[in-house]
Structure 1
Amino acid sequence: MSVVDHVPTSTRGRLTTLAAAVAAWVAVYWANGRVWDRLLHGLLGMDPDARSTETLRFFCYDTVKITLLLSGIIFVITVARSYMSVERTRALLGGRREGLGNVMAAGLGVVTPFCSCSAVPAFIGFVAAGVPIGVTLSFLIASPLVNEIAIGLLLTMFGVEVTLAYVAAGVSVAIVAGWVLGRLGVERWVEPFVFETRLGGELVDPATVLTFDQRLQMGAEEVVSILHKIWPYLLVGIGLGAVIHGWAPEDLFTRYAGAGNPFAVLVAVLIGIPLYSNAAGIMPLVVALHDKGLPMGTLLAFMMAVVALSLPELILLRRVLKVPLLAIYVAVVGSGIIAVGYLFNVLLA
């Protein structure tokens, strides 16, 4: 049964329900911190300065806060991106040459629906449509790397400057990495069946057939679907962030991963690659590490490595990329992320 089966079907009814949902969201977001302070410090009598209290408050407050932010961001983004389908993106990139094609692919990757589970079909579909390998890889790198949810969370937690730095860095990595991979002539390391695939039929762009009510329904259902899938990782990320926030010594991370350690960014990327999470799950950990004094460039590199070079996505890509190309892909993208980390440690110092 759809999550919106009991929502009024009239336009007026839907708008009233939407307005009520927005008002409730704002009220809960505003009251979040105040409720937990009163509950923990007042009703339960916990010492506000105790590490255990601070850890518990961080976990409770951030769980509600990030769930609210995710719900709002996912809903708005889903409605907005319903106007831009993967099929339309594939049509726009078909026949584009490298260079301009890489720029277009990276830009479209930011606004097009995509997740790691769709990496293989997207790759096959793009190549079968005549999109060059390098351009296709720019799209595949940008789409999960410059994640709409990450943009929304960064904007609300760190402000415009850091968010713009993240977007600029992610798009640049996607453009340069795709262009470099395309220049290397890596087609010989793509599995042969990819080039043998043929597309049949005509493309049907859902952006031309969906009503606004259907787009709102898509937004509501996407919120439930994504939260259902990521809640374990979200709680683990918030839990780790809470422990770090409450119990880690103030100078622990700055001592070993601060600006004074020349290998800090490299270590952050190497740690980030095997982690299985997404922008939502890793954000509480980024916030906690930032509070402990880690440089923003190091944190951006860590987050980008987790999102763009996760082991599950690499395992999926192995179905279409031979081992040499997969290794080159990791090396090129990883080098770009490391360079971004060092650069922004200087620019955002």
Structure 2
Amino acid sequence: MFDWIQQFADWLVFDVFKLEEGKHLTEALNFFIYDSIKILLLVFVIIFFMGIVNSYFPVEKVRNYLSRKKLYGFEYFMASLFGVVTPFCSCSSVPLFIGFVKGGIPLGVTFAFLITSPLVNEVAIGLFIGLFGLKTTIIYVISGVLLGTISGIILQKLKLEKYLTPWVQQVLENSQKETERFELEGMSLKDRLPSIWKETSTILKGIVPYVIVGIAIGGLMHGYIPDGFFEEYLSKDNWFAVPIATLLAVPMYSGASGILPVIQVLVSKGIPLGTAIAFMMGVVGLSLPEAMLLKKVMTIKLIAIFFSVVTVCIIISGYVFNIIF
């Protein structure tokens, strides 16, 4: 789907800039160009689509449905499953996170989606089956959904809505007023498009700088972290390998499709599967670029709480995987 972007990035780096293949700067720049174009396109499409969805979104009905006590956490599970069928990396999941919050979905349920979406999707599942087999894939999918569900429940119990940034609060206020106006006037989609486009432009202006900075950090990490750097710290004899792997993964950034081949190499060199998967989950779900994006919608305290809860759950998942395998 995105092959043309990679071809453009290769043409720009190798033919226009005349950079030598295999060099750190070359790899970092190629990564930055490819991911900047890909993610910005995804961000635009997602925000615009969510603007259309939100203009029809039955806010009160959904809020009432998801807040029913008899669901007993089922709403968190459903949000995690929705994350499975959305093939987005952590950075491109953020606009959907904003759309969820704007739609009146409880913050913990929204977190359940945000956690699961980059970790488990059809691309990751296909690669997992090819690299590790069906049994491991099934266990991974179940653990990913449970990770999102349990983390979402914990984060909801902490009542963290007050730590959303003023920018989000303003977006929420404007969105609610706009949604009420659409419902009252019964406007057609054609009539709604100008307002949807205006809202899309406003959100893009707010998050694009964070996208660029985040991808730049990811590009530097991608290009300059040497091969074999982590193997010294992730050996099977090290009891602290799982938390170390998770924490070492945070500065990095990659989608599941990009990191899974690396995980296969690590496992083939003797690193326990659970430790390798904890590292993968950290790279995909707890990256600094994601934190840079979330800084637009969350305060530093909320980001710290979010990352801490997910980190603990990932570490537990890593140990469980090591026990099973």
Report the TM range for the smaller structure's normalisation: 0.5 to 0.7
Please give the root-mean-square deviation of Cα atoms over the aligned residues, in Å.
3.6
Note if contact 1:115-1:144 (Cα within 8 Å) is conserved in structure 2: yes
Read off the aligned partner of 1:278 and give its amino acid letter.
G
Q: Give, in angstroms, the shift of residue 94 of structure 1.
A: 2.8
Show the counterpart of 1:299: 276
Among 148, 158, 163, the alignment partner of 2:137 is 163
Q: Greater CA radius of gyration, 1 or 2?
A: 1
Name 1:138's counterpart in structure 2: 112
Pairing of 1:89-238 with structure 2 (within 5 A):
94-95=62-63, 96-97=66-67, 99-195=73-169, 196-198=173-175, 200=178, 201=182
Whole-angstrom CA distance in 2 between matches of 1:337 and 1:281: 19
Structure 1 residues 314 and 94 mapped into 2: Cα distance closer, same or farther (>3 Å)?
farther
How many residue pairs get aligned? The number is 233
Distance 1:346 1:188 in 2: 39
Q: Give unpaired runs (5+ residues) of structure 1.
A: 5-84, 206-228
- Which residue of the partner structure matches residue 284 of structure 1? 261
Equivalent residue letter for 1:274: P
Partner of 1:266: 243
| TM-score normalised by structure 2 residue count | 0.63
Superposed displacement of residue 257, structure 1: 2.3
| Alignment check: 8 A CA contact 1:119 1:313 kept | no
**Aligned partner (choices 297, 304, 324) of residue 301 of structure 2:** 324
Structure 1 contact 119–316 (Cα < 8 Å) conserved: no
Q: Which of 284, 302, 310 is 1:333 aligned to? A: 310
**Deviation digits for residues 99-131 of structure 1 (CA, Å, limit 9, x no counterpart):** 121111001111125343444432222122110
Q: Partners in 1 of 2:258 and 2:3 — Cα distance?
A: 24
Unaligned runs of 5+ in 2: 5-48, 190-214
Superposition deviation, residue 325 in structure 1: 0.8
Question: How far off its partner does 1:306 sit?
Answer: 0.3
* Residue pair 1:189, 1:322 contacting (<8 A) in 2 also: yes
Same amino acid, percent of matched pairs? 43
State the distance in 1 between where 2:93 and 2:234 align: 32
Distance, in Å, in 2 between the alignment partners of 1:153 and 1:316 is 27
Give SS of 1:257's match: coil
Structure 1 residues 160 and 178: alpha-carbon distance in aligned structure 2, compared to 1, 3 A threshold: same
Q: Does 1:257 align with 2:231?
A: no
The aligned runs of 1:42-53 (5 Å cut-off) are none
- 2: distance between equivalents of 1:197 and 1:119? 22
Distance of 1:3 and 1:273 partners within structure 2 = 27
Change (3 A) 1:260 1:193: same
Q: Which residue of 2 aligns with 1:312?
A: 289
Deviation readout 1:17-71 (Å, 9 max, x if unpaired): xxxxxxxxxxxxxxxxxxxxxxxxxxxxxxxxxxxxxxxxxxxxxxxxxxxxxxx
Q: Structure 1-normalised TM-score?
A: 0.59
Give me the whole-angstrom Cα distance separating, in 2, the residues matched to 1:106 and 1:302.
20
Structure 2 CA distance for partners of 1:292 and 1:127, relative to 1, 3 Å: same
Q: Which moved more, 1:322-331 or 1:95-104?
A: 95-104
* Aligned CA distance change for structure 1 residues 256 and 274 (closer, same or farther; 3 Å): closer
Given the superposition, is the C-alpha separation of residues 91 and 292 from structure 1 closer, same or farther in structure 2, using an over 3 Å criterion? farther
